[in-house]
């Protein structure tokens, strides 16, 4: 991993039905103890209809390129317990080295 790991995470994947047949996101971890960097960022945005600036919070994560994480997976921070949905997982191409996988995250808990 190139980025400095700030925590370890568990990668959650899949769904499970309950007794009534309703489908819920599974809490089963596919991987645990994965070193990761999760950063909270803020940006001020305005619109034409509302010139009052609003702060928008978003999260970016990085994991090693060898970690199998895909769009729609959930990432649970093992230090804080916060759960994030992976909106996008991608790796920037480099002719020199294999870059970390960048995760665009949305916090759900």
For residue 3, the 8-state DSSP code is S
Q: How many domains does the chain have?
A: 1
pLDDT band at 43 (very low <50, low <70, confident <90, very high): very high
pLDDT in tens, 47-68: 899 889 999 999 999 999 999 9
**Domain with 93 in it:** 7-107
Q: Confirm whether 1 is domain-assigned.
A: no
Comparing 23-27, 62-66, 90-94, 104-108, which segment has the lowest mean pLDDT?
23-27
Residue 60, CA distances (Å) to 1, 26, 28 in order: 15, 23, 23
Residue 37 sits in a domain whose CATH number is 2.40.10
Residue 92 belongs to a domain = yes
Q: Is 17 helix (H, G, I), strand (E, B) or coil?
A: strand
Q: Is 14 helix (H, G, I), strand (E, B) or coil?
A: coil
Is 2 a member of any domain? no
pTM of the model: 0.86
């Amino acid at each position: 991993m190139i980025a400095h790991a700030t925590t370890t995470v568990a990668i959650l994947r899949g769904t499970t039905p309950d007794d009534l047949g309703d489908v819920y996101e599974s809490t089963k971890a596919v991987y645990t103890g994965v070193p990761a960097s999760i950063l909270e960022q803020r940006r001020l945005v305005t619109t034409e209809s509302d010139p009052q600036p609003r702060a928008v919070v978003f999260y970016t994560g990085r994991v090693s390129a060898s970690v199998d994480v895909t769009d729609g997976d959930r990432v649970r921070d093992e230090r804080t317990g916060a759960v994030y949905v992976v909106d996008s997982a991608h790796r920037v191409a480099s002719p020199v080295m294999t870059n970390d996988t960048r995760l665009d995250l949305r916090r759900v808990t």
